[in-house]
Amino acid sequence: MRRLPSLNALRAFEAAGRHGRMTLAAEELHVTHSAISRQVQHLEDMLGVALFAGPKNRMQLTEAGVTLLSGLSIAFDQMDLAVRSVADTAEGPLDVSCPGTFTMRWLIPRLYRFSDAHPDIEVRLSASSQPVDFQRDAFDVAIRAAPGPWPMDAEVTELFPERIGPVISPKLQVRHGNNLEKFTLLHTRSRRHAWKVWGSQADMPVTDEEGVEYEHFYFMIEAALSGLGICIAPWPMVADDLASGRLVAPYGFVGSGQSYAVLRRSRQHRKSQLFSDWLVEEARQFDGLALPTTEKRRENVIAG
């Protein structure tokens, strides 16, 4: 037999401890400040220890409070994951994990169509490119660009193959033409050898030691948009900018060997199934757009 305090008391304390203020805990749980205070007091009386110390406007967790909060936060996360792993509804929040730049430059500009079709589903986005582990992670759906291998407990549907190519601002192209030797190469830490990969695939060997490196992919694309140089970018990240004329792709795009895929838990869930089906259809339409192809011109190979 487990002799536990009431769930309401534990939830009240966990929220208050996490926020550091009972007022914020009350707002989160949709109860009054006095209700949170009573529940915390009840929990302290039952446990026989103080969980908070100090004035009410600057309360601090005691040592016992810190210990209890750490365990409760993990337990509530596990309960939330367990509940969502069996819930089968077509409404409510759907947590989606996706690489940050792909989220900003491809998914979000198209997400309104899913929201219009399914107004009862709240899509909550989180940015990540880490390997997917549905036993550990709390999200319902993940989008990744990788060759795999994928988790055994995931249903994987390919969206479209990844294609990469150099992109520059129209002003920079007018200034230097299509001679790669005249451009500053832009790099990102997450794909430091993108130029070599493209050069190999396009049969245009590239020496990529020099140039400017950016910490985030999004920064590098913004630098290209601003005319600071030329960068290798995946087609989905820049397709809208190419269509609007903000960027040009003078050498076209080639396959990178990777594919974008949507992953979801193996158990069927209506929300995740609806979102996955929508992604597949969006990807089908997107992959059917005219794609610039690479012109293999060895005279434009970068030297040094």
- Domain ranges in the chain? 7-86, 92-160+258-287, 163-256+291-300
43-60 burial, b for 16+ CB within 10 Å, e for fewer? bbeeeeeebbeeeeeebe
Least-confidence region, from 89-93, 112-116, 296-300: 296-300
Q: 92-160+258-287, what's its fold? A: D-Maltodextrin-Binding Protein; domain 2 (3.40.190)
pLDDT (tens digit per residue) in 129-160: 888 888 788 788 999 987 767 888 789 999 99
Q: What are the φ/ψ torsions at residue 284 (nearest 5 degrees)?
A: -60, -45
* Between residues 221 and 270, the one the model is more confident about: 221
Q: Mean pLDDT throughout 86-97?
A: 73
Distance set, CA 207 to CA 98, 193, 200 (Å): 31, 10, 11
Asked whether residue 280 carries a pLDDT value surpassing 80, the answer given is yes
Fold of 163-256+291-300: D-Maltodextrin-Binding Protein; domain 2 (3.40.190)
- Compute the distance between CA of residue 17 and CA of residue 30 in angstroms, rounded to an integer: 16
Q: Give the number of residues written for the chain.
A: 304
Examine domains 92-160+258-287 and 163-256+291-300 and report if their fold is the same.
yes
Across 1-15, 82-96, 220-234, 240-254, least confident range: 82-96
pLDDT score for 87: 63
C-alpha distances in Å from residue 98, one per residue of 45, 57, 125, 128: 45, 39, 7, 5
pLDDT mean over 80-100: 75
3-state secondary structure of 143: strand
Q: DSSP states of 56-77 as a string?
A: GGG-EE-HHHHHHHHHHHHHHH
pLDDT at 133: 84
Facing residues of 233 across strands? 165
Class of the domain covering 7-86: mainly alpha
Rounded Cα–Cα distance for residues 70 and 65 (Å): 9
Phi, psi for residue 15 in degrees, rounded to 5: -65, -45
**CA dist 72 to 5, 18, 60, 207, 213, Å?**
12, 10, 17, 53, 42
Residue 16, burial from CB neighbour count under 10 angstroms (0-12, 13-18, 19+) = buried
Asked if residues 235 and 164 have their Cβ atoms less than 8 Å apart, the reply is yes
Tell me how far apart the alpha carbons of residues 221 and 204 are, in angstroms, rounded to a whole number: 22
DSSP 215: S
Q: Answer yes or no: is pLDDT of 297 > 50.
A: no
